[in-house]
Amino acid sequence: MTNTTIETDIIIIGAGPVGLFAVFEAGLLKLRCHIIDILPQPGGQLTEIYPKKPIYDIPGYPSVLASELVDNLMQQIAPFNPGFTLGDSAEIVEKQADGRWLVTTGRGQQHLAPVIFIAGGLGCFEPRKPPIDNIAQFEDNGVDYFVRNPDQYKDKRIVIAGGGDSALDWTIFLADVAKEVTLIHRRTEFRGAPDSVEKMYELSHQGRIKLVTNAQVTGLNGNGHLQSVVIEHDTEGTSVVDADYFVPLFGLTPKLGPIANWNLNLDKGAIEVNTFDYATNVEGIFAIGDINTYPGKLKLILCGFHEATLACQSAYKIVFPGKKLSFKYTTVTGIEGLGA
Amino acid sequence: MLLNTIIISITDRENQVHELETPTDMGLSIMELCKSYELPVEGTCGGMALCASCHVYVLSEHDLHEPSDDELAMLDSAFFVKPNSRLGCQIKITEALDGLKLKLAPVST
């Protein structure tokens, strides 16, 4: 993929409330921002997980819906024209000869800036992987955590594991595509949409899929590519099913993701920062919001706002070395004319 | 013992038993209790029943409230789940839990 490199003052990783508010505070200092987020829309957890839940501890709002807070933040930062790279993850961070950071996403988009704010919240949501010893060696060789291209399962034998909607939906869909579909679920009951559950039982009665309940996949066999899966039944021992593909669908779980490889000091999955300006151990990289840790850390949006504000002060000194920074209230200057 | 405190016993993943004294009037959850005593419980999602990093087994016969749909849905996609599995973040600490015995479930990566 060939794209022009995006150049800015601060690359913000994470479009949650703290990442968004950082744009505002940076904007007051005439610092431009570009936000990268793996989710396709801004708001982070607030949009993705609890858009309709009220939040009660945002100063000045007795109660505000998470989605409203995001809308308001987007409105608040609009005058500063932030850039967005959405639906893509920041994968690689490299220091350039001129001291700036080059951030490359999974899709190959490059971003260049002297400062990075990591506002990654819980991290990236990654598929939950079943605890099978040799599962890693079959990843992309028969084990798929997502169904990306259903055509690849044409005339193949597929084992799907899980009891939620995605396991049911793909079982139903692939019944018409694959040579053989086996659905394995740990319990008897399925928690998916009632329609899908019914449809799946119907396919099972018609013999178009094989349904195995009260069982789980505990082993994988193959030579290079997957050939069979070992199923452990709650009461009847184990059995082996020939399979070209094993698709475990157990939902997503938050993980630190690629950030874990950026040489930052970590403590229990959070990035260590100082409380002077929320800088990490790597110069020019700051961490703000739920993803950082320090003595007394509280994972609150309002604390993240404070952290973003202080980090901007130090970012200014990196972006404009030697330039004096004078502090002004928005009540005095307004934000008119500050937009980039 | 102080007023409004109870003891909850938690067996860690190395089978070491920790007797934890905890207040009942602070709205704490088992996940928060484990974190405050620095037991190896990450509580990644902050208590929203989204990550199962606070997955525990209930070893004693205490009468816990029924799990919510969110908790059941999460347990459905967690691993090492047994009939006595619960999410620590969904268990609020009350006086009725005095003497509760729990064991931390294995961590899946």
pLDDT in tens, A74-112: 999 999 999 999 999 999 999 999 999 999 999 999 999
Angle separating helix axes A301-319 and A17-28, nearest 10 degrees: 40
Residue B22 lies in a domain: yes
Average confidence (pLDDT) over B18-25: 95
Closest CA to B84 of B65, B58, B53: B58
Q: Which CATH superfamily is domain A129-250 in?
A: FAD/NAD(P)-binding domain (3.50.50.60)
Nearest of A28, A37, A6 to residue A308 by alpha carbon: A28
d(CA A297, CA A308): 14
Closest CA to A87 of A143, A27, A47: A47
- Within-domain flag for B109: no
Q: Which residues of chain A have pLDDT under 70?
A: 1-2, 336-340
Looking at the complex, report in whole angstroms how far the Cα of residue B100 sits from the nearest Cα belonging to chain A: 27
Q: What is the pLDDT of residue A334?
A: 84
pLDDT of residue A99: 95
Residue A259: closest CA among A126, A118, A147:
A118
A-chain residues within 8 Å CB-CB of B72?
191
Interface with chain A: mutation pick from B53, B75, B76, highest number of A CBs within 10 Å: B76
For A12, phi then psi, to 5°, come to -105, 125
Name the domain count of chain B.
1
Q: Among partner residues B42, B77, B78, which is closest to A269 by beta-carbon distance?
A: B42
The arrangement of secondary structure in A6-125+253-333, i.e. its CATH architecture, is: 3-Layer(bba) Sandwich (3.50)
Mutate to test the interface with B, among A184, A253, A255, A268 (most CBs of B within 10 A): A253
Q: Could you tell me the strand order of the sheet in which A6-7 lies? A: A6-7, A110-113, A101-105, A90-95
A-proximal residues of B, 17-46, CB under 8 Å:
42, 44-46
Query: Which ipTM score applies to this complex?
Result: 0.79
The pLDDT score that the predictor gives to residue B23 is 94
How far is A280 from A285, CA to CA, in rounded Å?
6
- Tell me the residue range of the domain where B16 lies: 5-104
pLDDT at residue A340, rounded to an integer: 45
> What span, in angstroms and rounded, lies between the C-alpha atoms of A116 and A9?
9
Cα A282 to Cα A99: distance, rounded to the nearest angstrom: 12
Interface residue B73 vs chain A (CB under 8 A): yes
A123 closest CA partner among A46, A36, A14:
A14
pLDDT for residue A339: 55
**Residue B109 has what pLDDT?**
61
Which pLDDT does position B59 carry in this prediction? 97
Residue pair B101/B60 in contact (Cβ under 8 Å)? The answer is yes
Helices (H), chain A: 17-28, 45-48, 66-77, 135-138, 165-174, 194-205, 301-319, 330-333
CA A174 to the chain's CA centroid: 27
Q: Counting one residue from A and one from B, how many pairs have CB atoms under 8 Å apart?
A: 50
User: Which neighbouring-strand residues pair with A181?
Assistant: A158
Write out the two tokens for A324: 């004096």
Please name the residues in contact with A77: beta carbons below 8 A apart, sequence gap of 6 or more: A20, A21, A23, A24, A27
Residue B67 sits in a domain whose CATH number is: 3.10.20.30
Fold equal for A6-125+253-333 and A129-250: yes
Q: What is the pLDDT of residues B86-106, one digit of tens each?
A: 999 999 999 999 999 999 999
Q: Where in chain A are the domains?
A: 6-125+253-333, 129-250
